[in-house]
Chains A and B, each alone.
Chain A
Amino acid sequence: MTNEALDVLIDCRNVWKIFGERSDEAIKAIRERGAGKREVLRDYNCVVGVSDASFQIRKGEIFCIMGLSGSGKSTLVRLLNRLIEPSMGKVEVKGRDIAQMGPKDLRALRAHEIGMVFQSVALIPGRTVLDNAAFGLEVQGVAKAERHKIASDALARVGLADWANHMPRQLSGGMQQRVGLARAIASDPEIILMDEPFSALDPLIRKQLQDEFRELTKSLGKSAVFITHDLDEAMRIGDRIAIMKDGIMIQQGTAEDIVLHPADAYVAEFVAGISRLHLVKAHSLMAPVSEVPGDVLARLPRTSPEADVQALIDLVLSTPDQAVAVEDAGTCIGVVTARTLLEGIRGEEHAAATIEVVA
């Protein structure tokens, strides 16, 4: 096995989920004659929840699945810990096919490897915040003193150390969601599934929690699958983003990929409202080195391919040449000039629109 393969925590291959009483027949129809979503609904009265999804979650990465309600994102995330059984396809967690696991292995997987945070938080009303945070450990049979210690540490991590002995109803929505996160990390899973955890919160709190979540996940070295209906949230949190519509994963890629190269009109429409300023990096803005004479190139300031627009603007303005060279591993791979910078900020589809108007 290569190193890269070892780094894959979740491998989802051609996974389908079909809901309905006649799902067996529907699957057969899809398999044998490639029946479509509409056909399946018309002929078998079955709903396709997830259609042929394939993706990988790598170690340490936050993978956002973004889609509107009914797009199948919540179904998809539940296939990853087998809260829902896939109709077809294979889900492997750390190289093990979870469909083949017996009840005991599956419980162990859920208890130790994959944590989950819910939109509704699901804090048990009669328990203190501390006992809620310790719930996963309690289920695992960890002794009271030890689980309370671990849960207190987890609460401290999410900034709720002082609230351990309160009841859940005494906490605000944002605080409750933090308890949900503490409960998930207390079991120290390698992967955390987040099912629209911040959707019900008001915008200011949501933004704060997004940043905290990202920081916490990265500092603990966890991987996460984050479900959201909010593209801004996906861009803020995700290392990679997948966009779902009608059960189909339309596009996967970094925020930059998706904004700069939307796979279809649906994605394009979505990303139209997104500010590209903080997403566009030097490597997607640069022009070939041949654009500037060699002597000018030699005296230009240097930057990395990952430099963002803000940094580029500062650099370009700092020299009389109004350009900056992009350097990767010691070689010049391109230049960013004031012109390419402006074009990049304006964006491709805007350029196309302008041309249409002129024509």
Chain B
Amino acid sequence: MAWKQQIKAFDAWIDAGMTWIGTHGSAAFSALRGLLEGGYDGLLWLLQLPPWWVLGLAVGGLAWRLVGRGFGVIAAAGLILCWGMGLWPETLETLALVLSATTIAVLVGGIIGVVAGYSPRVAGFVDPVLDLIQTLPPYLYLLPAIAFLGYGPATAILATFIVAVPPTVKLTALGISRTPNEFLELGTATGASGWQTFVKIRLPFAARSIMAGVNQSLMMAFGMVVIAGIVGSGGLGETIYASVRTLDIAKSVDAAIAIVVLTIVLDRISQAAQKETP
């Protein structure tokens, strides 16, 4: 039938396109891969540097300071549990993955968000793209990412970055564009330059909104951890993926508990940081 052939032609066209990108962009992709894995390895090395209990206490102390004494104790106990389950290396790998992907998402998303916050035209272009990202099933961009970046943490970081970036962009743009008019007027009437108005007026007002975006991005990144296990992310995601395949239910539950602990600890800490923002 004709339409079946047309679909075949379409598929062939996609394949050819992928091959073309793969061959012509290989230098760029290996550079990107090097960059992502370099960042990830560096962060992981840093996290592995102190003994497990020092890191546990440090996170507990931070939670104590920002959230409260009770949560500080819970956070420390949760991390001890991760260690106790024999999942400490995986926990650190997951932490490194989530933090590096979120950091890139916040940097890139922050810049795009600021531009979109200033320019409604840019926002009009960016918003539908973000909506598309948020509605696409993650597997859809996971596969081409494997094709270009190969199996490993780089692909996992890229995929995590893609899901993590929309909240930061959206909430940064919202914060920047919603600066109260009287404060913009104050800037102008005081003789502030465009840059001064941005740094001294728009940014402080947007800070809360931006922090909410960072928190959301972090949560989206945690949501990707298990899916990223399929592409060789390492860490807890891969542990779950491997134990599901071997029907090792108990181990997958252990890893899931560790993910929940990490997620809750980072969520509460970043939320508290947001509340501290004036």
Residue positions of A touching B, CB distance < 8 A = 81, 83, 106-112, 114-116, 118, 120, 122, 124-127, 135-136, 138-140, 187, 193
Contact = CB atoms under 8 A, between A and B. Distances in A.
A126 B185 contact: no
Residue among B183, B185, B186, B201 with most chain A CB within 10 A: B186
Interface string B58-92: 00000000000000000000000000000000000
B199 to A, nearest CB: 11
A135 B207 CA distance: 19
- Size category of the B interface is 10 to 19
A81 B190 contact: no
Contacts of B39: none
Given A107-B193, A110-B190, A135-B190, A122 B182 contact: yes
- Is the contact region of chain B dominated by helix, strand, or loop, or is it mixed? helix
B194 to A, nearest CB: 9
B188 to A, nearest CB: 6
A83 B185 contact: yes
28 contacts: A107-B191, A107-B192, A107-B193, A109-B191, A110-B189, A110-B191, A112-B191, A115-B189, A116-B186, A118-B185, A122-B180, A122-B183, A122-B185, A124-B183, A124-B204, A125-B204, A125-B278, A126-B204, A127-B204, A135-B186, A135-B190, A135-B200, A136-B191, A139-B187, A139-B190, A139-B192, A139-B193, A140-B191
Residue among A112, A136, A187 with most chain B CB within 10 A: A136
B188 A110 contact: yes
A83 B201 CA distance: 17
Given A138-B200, A139-B200, A122 B186 contact: yes
Interface string B131-158: 0000000000000000000000000000
A108 B264 CA distance: 51
A120 B185 CA distance: 11
Contacts of A107: 191-193
A120 B192 contact: no
B196 interface: yes
A164 B176 CA distance: 28
A125 to B, nearest CB: 5
Residue among A81, A116, A139, A187 with most chain B CB within 10 A: A139
Nearest to A103: B193
A335 B189 CA distance: 50
A81 B196 contact: no
Contacts of A109: 191
Nearest to A119: B182
A124 B185 CA distance: 12
A140 B185 CA distance: 16
B157 to A, nearest CB: 33
Given A124-B201, A125-B278, A139 B188 contact: no
A305 to B, nearest CB: 40
Interface in B167-190: 180, 182-183, 185-190
